[in-house]
Amino acid sequence: MDYFPIFLLIAGLMAAFSIYLIYLVKRGIDGVGFLLVLYLTGSMVVMFASLSVFFSSPNQVTEAVALASNSAYMIFGLIPILFNINKKVKVRRWYTILVFAGLMALSEAFMGQTFFTMVTKQLGNPLLGVENYWYYAVMISEMLFTLLYSFKSLTQPLRNYLIIALPIMGISPVILPQVTQYVNDTIWFNASLMIIATILIYESLYRDRLKRTQETMTSLELMLVFSFMMAGIFTYFLTGSWYLFDASMLGGMTWFIYRAINGPNHVKGNYMKDSKWTFSFILVTFIMEWLMGGVLDFASGNFSTGVRGFLSSLGLGFVNPLSYYGLGSLFDFLSIFGSVTGSTWFLVMMGTEMGMLALFRIREVKFRENKIRLALMVSAYAIYTIYLPNFSPLSSKIAFIPYMWSMGLGTLGPVASNYLIPGIIGTYVVSAVLSFLFGSRQICSVTCTAPTMYQGTFYESLKSYNRTSRLGRKTLSSRLRPWYKVIALVVWGSLLAFAVLSFLNQDGVINVTILGNDPTVFLYSFYFNFLWYVVFISIPFMGSYACVTQGWCSWGTFNQFFGGLGLFRLRVKNPDLCVKCETKACSEACPVGNTDLPGKFIKEGEFKSMRCIGVGDCMEACPYENIRIYDFRSWIREKLGSNGT
């Protein structure tokens, strides 16, 4: 039997009726009228739920159940309306609208379930009705109508959020879940839109950073919806089931209709002042990005599907979680976490988001020096971090090229004899010379992945937590604290000790591994695929650039040491201008909290410290445009007799 005409008629009627109910609610219907709308919406849920049971197994019992459930709802559902028909009832509150939006999404899901059971005579899981184009056709028409009808009454940020969320929810992989190519294409499409949406959210918050309140909770809600969706797709690749993703679709579409009708969340704040909210937002965003990175690695074939396939794809491997007195579970967590954060597509996705924020910032800086550095920074991420190690013809030879064995001894593999010269030692020599000539900015502000993540518009503004967070305040000024030295010594001590073990392993002298992994490979994964992200997410509590201010990065402290010995420094053209400066804006702008900048400028006419990584924000903030960077280029100009400032 051809059910298509029947389905088309039912879906069309459902869409028209649902849109009319949305129109009534948005128009402002109240009291008994709103109770009636809820009653009618609930009746659709009960009707389609009972019909799906009946069509899965048509007989007298299921027919009786369907009739009884609908009759019971018609009678008992009317009781609240009849008791309040002559009373002035005020029910139009946020939770009643949320219930209405949820019932709308659920009724469409049960409609899809009914269509499925009519064709297959099977009931399936309760959310199977989401997995077809009929459900999405009706829901998208309802969402689109709600957005258009509410458009003028919405705030600009919420408009943007709903506009970008509509195609993400509407072009879903479960519309045609049995078509593998369609599923993969929509996953990539949705991931791309979520990246755009994340950039949009960051920029919306950043543009309103000077306002007392922003759309903070609404932004967090949308990131939670995206995280839920990505968790659903990630689970699908592990289990083959769309069940969690179906639930995320119901939740996401409920949120969409609710927000379009009710407007933005009235709980607002400012991300530069509320550390707990900002931490929550960064954490939820990172969870979404981690899940997305894993999903893209599944979709691209870097991870094998299924639980066993995924565990076999882990970079550090997988052990019995109960082994080694429970330490196996900690190892497995690090292995799973680091396998995603160290993967190509996670880095591509993060680079796209953070790189766009950095490009937006180029428009805001005044000095050509800083514009060039930001452009080099984004280019270095794309070429040095992504293209050369992963996609270039040189990718197999990267370990032997100086300056490519970056960020520590364990980046590209074990400390083997054939890597020592020129790969490892060459990298350290070249980088030390560059830091001596140009300062540690060549790493900490250009080629490392950290500056791209720290210096885009949104994350750059989080340097305010250097002064407001408890740990951030303890790192202010260029003086190195004792605990900075302790952390740096522990990091370097562990790195060198593990490097010796790795070298002796490779020469066959000993056989020491960490659950089957080379010591430096494991340590690198721990420091840069796990600990660094913990530090990054904790900006609201630790301050910005904690890798610089607290000594967590071995590669950073190495280059900062040689930068401190070398030619790089900040100079002022006229120290007298610093004396009369009332703002001391240069110290406020410094992303690593060098608050003693003004004093050094007044006393010495320059500022030199291994903690200065040459970001150049002080130059931008100086009201007199008095600060300049001095490095090897300036030294050459001096020798040639030209102005070296």
44 in a structural domain: yes
Is the predicted pLDDT of residue 521 greater than 80, yes or no? yes
The strand pairing partners of 571, in sequence order, are: 606, 628
Instruction: Return the percent helix, strand and coil in the chain, to nearest 5.
Output: 70, 0, 25
Nearest Cα to Cα of residue 374 among 458, 320, 454, 480: 454
Is the predicted pLDDT of residue 561 greater than 80, yes or no? yes
Please give the average per-residue pLDDT across 561-577, as a whole number: 95
510 in a structural domain: no
DSSP string over 49-80: HHHHHHHHS-SHHHHHHHHHHHHHHHHHTTHH
CATH of the domain at 599: 3.30.70
Q: How far apart are CA 144 and CA 19, in angstroms?
A: 10
For the chain, what is the radius of gyration of the CA atoms? 29
Mean pLDDT of the chain: 92
Handedness of CA 553, 554, 557, 562 (dihedral sign): negative
pLDDT digits (tens, 9 = 90+) for 584-600: 999 999 999 999 999 99
Domain boundary among 253, 273, 293: 273
Domain boundary among 273, 299, 333: 273
Q: Which two tokens stand for residue 291?
A: 């899940």
H/E stretch holding 606:
strand 606-607
H/E stretch holding 216:
helix 216-239
Count of domains forming the chain: 2
The strand pairing partners of 572, in sequence order, are: 627
237 in a structural domain: yes
Mean pLDDT lowest among 91-95, 230-234, 239-243, 477-481? 91-95
Q: What is the pLDDT of residue 641?
A: 80
Domain boundary among 242, 273, 304: 273
pLDDT digits (tens, 9 = 90+) for 60-113: 999 999 999 999 998 888 887 777 776 665 655 788 889 999 999 999 999 999
Global pTM value: 0.93
Is the predicted pLDDT of residue 417 greater than 60, yes or no? yes
Q: How confident is the model at residue 250 (pLDDT cuts 50, 70, 90)?
A: very high
pLDDT digits (tens, 9 = 90+) for 328-354: 999 999 999 999 999 999 999 999 999
Is the predicted pLDDT of residue 124 greater than 80, yes or no? no
The residue type of 103 is L
Q: What is the DSSP letter of 599?
A: H
Q: What is the pLDDT of residue 285?
A: 97
Count CB atoms within 10 A of the CB of residue 471. 15
pLDDT digits (tens, 9 = 90+) for 169-202: 999 999 998 899 999 999 999 999 999 999 999 9
Cβ contact 179:284 at 8 Å: no
The residue type of 61 is V
Nearest Cα to Cα of residue 339 among 312, 321, 299, 320: 312
Q: What is the pLDDT of residue 295?
A: 97
**More confident of the two residues 1 and 243:** 243
Q: How far apart are CA 589 and CA 593, in angstroms?
A: 8
264 in a structural domain: yes
203 in a structural domain: yes
pLDDT digits (tens, 9 = 90+) for 253-286: 999 999 999 999 888 899 999 999 999 999 999 9
Rounded alpha-carbon distances, angstroms, from residue 623 to 177, 178, 589, 607: 59, 62, 12, 18
514 in a structural domain: no
Handedness of CA 476, 477, 483, 488 (dihedral sign): positive
Handedness of CA 555, 559, 564, 568 (dihedral sign): negative
343 in a structural domain: no
Q: What is the pLDDT of residue 410?
A: 64
Percent of the chain with pLDDT over 90: 80
CA torsion angle for 339, 458, 586, 609 (degrees, to 10)? Answer: 0
Q: How far apart are CA 285 and CA 40, in angstroms?
A: 38
Q: Which domain holds residue 570?
A: 563-639
Q: What is the pLDDT of residue 421?
A: 86
433 in a structural domain: no
Cis check: omega of the bond before 623, within 30 degrees of 0: no
Please give the average per-residue pLDDT across 112-138, as a whole number: 88
pLDDT digits (tens, 9 = 90+) for 498-517: 999 999 999 999 999 999 99
Q: How far apart are CA 412 and CA 425, in angstroms?
A: 13
Please give the average per-residue pLDDT across 237-242, as a whole number: 95
